Amino acid sequence: MHQGIQLARTGLVVNAALALAKLLAGVLGHSYALIADAVESIADIFSSLVVWSGLRVAARNADERYPFGYGKAESISTFIVGLMLVGAALGIAIEAVREILTPHHAPAPFTLAVLVAVVAIKEVLFRRVSRSAVELGSGAVAADAWHHRADAITSAAAFVGISVALLGGPGWEMADDWAALLASGIVLYNGVRIMRPALAELMDQSPDDEVFRAVEAAAHAVDGVLATEKLRIRKSGTRYLLELHVQADPGLSLFEAHVLSGKVKGRIRSQVPRVEGVLVHMEPFEGA
């Protein structure tokens, strides 16, 4: 979790610097596509703050008030980031249409150099943060990574639009604004794509079958476990909470069944490190 917080801080600093550079270049270079790109970067700044705050809250230990921990804060922050992207996309689209309908100057050539630098920086950040998101299993960090990718894509779209406007000459000035409109569609898509898994986690949707198979394999590897059933798993932040019914020899004493359930918990948590909470319900074996 600490790694995710550090990446969010880095993204915050980089986004602030790039947003300022793009905004100044867009205003001075008469490029609305670049200004729209700057708006997206400003949204990235707030998203990094949201991710940072969400991860810090999610990292807290469970207490009496929140006995299942604070992991849902990560899903909430992910959903907010997606919602911010949707809002930014709609704002960019409205302004792009207004600019298309309003005659204006062609963008300045120097804006292309700014965009090349932005695309390179953002793509590097995307790859670095994506790797960490996979390692941590964090939806919030993954959302932050896709913010960087969305920024790279909108910058690339702005580059194409400005290039067309410059090469086409008089009458092609609006190509820059069409690029901004295209970029808004890409940002909207990414926003919705980020929100869906976050909402699924908040609704306690079951994780992939791979997690179920790993948990069941760990439980069955414990001596005395004859069968398992009613396995339920939900995700809380980067961790999993689960409950499992274990069938064992009906002749076991209450104490022996308790010891066996402890072994099952220990084996699952050691074999599947992302499992944090395990509730085992012991039952008599009902098989042949």
Q: What is the pLDDT of residues 261-287, one digit of tens each?
A: 999 999 999 998 888 889 999 999 977
How deeply is 85 buried, as exposed, middle or buried, from its count of CB atoms within 10 A (0-12, 13-18, 19+)? buried
More confident of the two residues 31 and 80? 80
Phi/psi of residue 131, nearest 5 degrees: -60, -45
Instruction: Give buried/exposed letters for 34-60 (b at 16+ CB in 10 A, else e).
Output: bbbbbbbbbbbbebbbbbbbbbbbbbe
Lowest mean pLDDT among 71-85, 131-145, 171-185: 131-145
Q: CA-CA distances (angstroms) from residue 99 to 32, 72, 177, 273?
A: 8, 41, 6, 53
Domains and CATH numbers, the chain: 2-202 (1.20.1510.10), 209-284 (3.30.70.1350)
Say what the pLDDT of residue 265 is.
Answer: 94
Rounded mean pLDDT, 78-89: 84
Question: What region does 69 belong to: left with phi over 0, alpha with psi -120 to 50, or beta?
Answer: left
Residue 170 — pLDDT band, cuts 50, 70, 90? confident
Say what the pLDDT of residue 71 is.
Answer: 82
Say what the pLDDT of residue 263 is.
Answer: 94
Q: What is the pLDDT of residues 220-242, one digit of tens each?
A: 999 999 999 999 999 887 789 99
Say what the pLDDT of residue 278 is.
Answer: 92
Q: What is the pLDDT of residues 10-32, one digit of tens each?
A: 767 777 887 888 888 888 887 76
Q: Do β-strands 275-284 and 239-248 pair in parallel, antiparallel, or remain unpaired?
A: parallel
More confident of the two residues 37 and 70? 70
* Concatenated DSSP letters of 187-244: HHHHHHHHHHHHHHHHTT----HHHHHHHHHHHHTSTT--EEEEEEEEEETTEEEEEE
Return the DSSP state at 53.
H
C-alpha span between 194 and 144 (Å, rounded): 9
- The size of the chain, in residues, is 288
Task: Return the percentage of the chain with pLDDT > 70, whole number.
Answer: 92
Rounded mean pLDDT, 186-191: 83
Q: What is the mean pLDDT of the chain?
A: 82
Residue 100 — pLDDT band, cuts 50, 70, 90? confident
C-alpha span between 41 and 21 (Å, rounded): 10
Say what the pLDDT of residue 233 is.
Answer: 92
Say what the pLDDT of residue 7 is.
Answer: 66
Say what the pLDDT of residue 220 is.
Answer: 93
Say what the pLDDT of residue 8 is.
Answer: 64
Q: At what angle do helices 110-136 and 2-28 cross, to 10 degrees?
A: 170
State yes or no: pLDDT of 175 exceeds 70. yes
Residue 113: partners with Cβ closer than 8 Å, 6 or more residues away: none
C-beta separation of 226 from 217 below 8 A: no
The H helix count followed by the E strand count for the chain is 8, 3
